[in-house]
């Protein structure tokens, strides 16, 4: 059995040089995880979230005041 590799992507709302993250949602169905990493340090650590925790992270980010 071959382990599936993460397919990383950034939001289309990301700006160049900004504080962005990348996610690999392709692993939700097979591994029930959502890996998250810093888009500027792609060889750095990866935070592994459950789908529910990732949904909470997105909801928190949408409510955050970034101004």
pLDDT band at 18 (very low <50, low <70, confident <90, very high): low
Q: In the chain, what are the domain boundaries?
A: 21-63
Q: Which pair of tokens denotes residue 42?
A: 């792609």
Residue 26 to residue 23: CA distance in whole angstroms: 9
CB 21 within 8 A of CB 38: yes
pLDDT tens profile 32-49: 999 999 988 989 999 999
Which pLDDT score, from 0 to 100, does residue 65 have? 62
């Amino acid at each position: 059995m071959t382990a599936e590799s993460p397919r990383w992507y950034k939001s289309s709302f990301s700006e160049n040089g900004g504080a962005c993250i990348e996610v690999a949602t392709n692993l939700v169905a097979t591994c029930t995880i959502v890996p998250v990493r810093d888009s500027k340090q792609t060889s750095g650590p990866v935070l592994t979230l459950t789908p529910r925790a990732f949904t909470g992270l997105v909801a928190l980010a949408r409510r955050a005041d970034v101004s």
